[in-house]
Amino acid sequence: MPVYDYHKYHFGFILAMNQMHFTIKPIEGLNYKIFDSIAAQEISADSAMLYSVEDDPTIGFTVGIVSNLRLGNYFDLRFIPSLTFGERYLDYRILKFRNGEQELIEIRKNIPSTFVELPFHLKYKSKRLNNFRAYVLTGVNFRIDLASQANKSRDLSQVQVKLKRNDIYYEIGVGFDFYFEWFKLGTEVKMSYGILDILKREGNIYTDGIDKLSSKIFQFSFTFE
């Protein structure tokens, strides 16, 4: 395929594995804050203190369509609308006070996500060497979370940690293209860093101890073009 990269535009598809994370910034003085019985209603406490909150990622997957516009010998503009599935956990350590007694408990909240992704990337390619070429890319990605619970009514007896529906990510990645007789195979590692605070606060111990919750996603992709 010696003239493949001279085409003005071409298309393909992407298959990827992802790992979703959170970047958690707790409120100042978290370990000195007392949450009242309303904020801690789900755990049946007179009051409570939040010791820590940590994220636990899992593996998800992504499918999408590759649209590539040639800008020059070494630059491409890429638009890759995709559908991404995954989930994350938030693990809380809480000191619970009830009837004059205290108990340290651990609670896990599951947060699934289904993203519609609309990324634009600028791709810088090295000079092709036989059937191999390296590249780096950067860009922005607008993600819409179809699994967001942000618009559902609040239930203090069974609290869900809810994320806002929309987020904007800065992305950077590196990859390699391999040219075969009928198609070009790309392998790529990409990191996405969410810019916005995506946590919906509802006056409970799970949300009000966090000053900012942003998203972070690592992705390993195969592209077929």
Tokens of 93: 């350590």
How high does pLDDT run on average in the chain?
A: 91
> Of 207, 196, 201, which is closest to residue 166 (Cα–Cα)?
196
Give the model's confidence band at 155: pLDDT under 50 very low, under 70 low, under 90 confident, else very high.
low
Nearby residues of 169 by Cβ (< 8 Å), 6 or more positions away: 119, 140, 141, 142, 143, 192, 193, 194, 195, 215, 217
Domain extent listing, the chain: 9-26+58-89+111-118+145-215
Residue 131 CB-half CA count within 13 A: 9
- pLDDT of 6: 84
pTM (predicted TM-score): 0.86
Q: Residue 175 and residue 5: Cα distance in Å, rounded?
A: 16
Buried b (16+ CB within 10 A) or exposed e, 108-127: eeebbbebebebebebebee
Q: Are 141 and 168 in contact (CB under 8 A)?
A: yes
- pLDDT of 84: 96
pLDDT tens, 84-133?
999 999 999 999 998 888 889 999 999 999 999 999 999 999 999 989 99
CA dihedral 157, 161, 166, 171 (to 10 degrees): -170
- pLDDT of 83: 96
Average pLDDT over residues 163-180: 95
Amino acid letter for position 37 = S
pLDDT tens, 19-41?
999 999 999 888 888 999 888 88
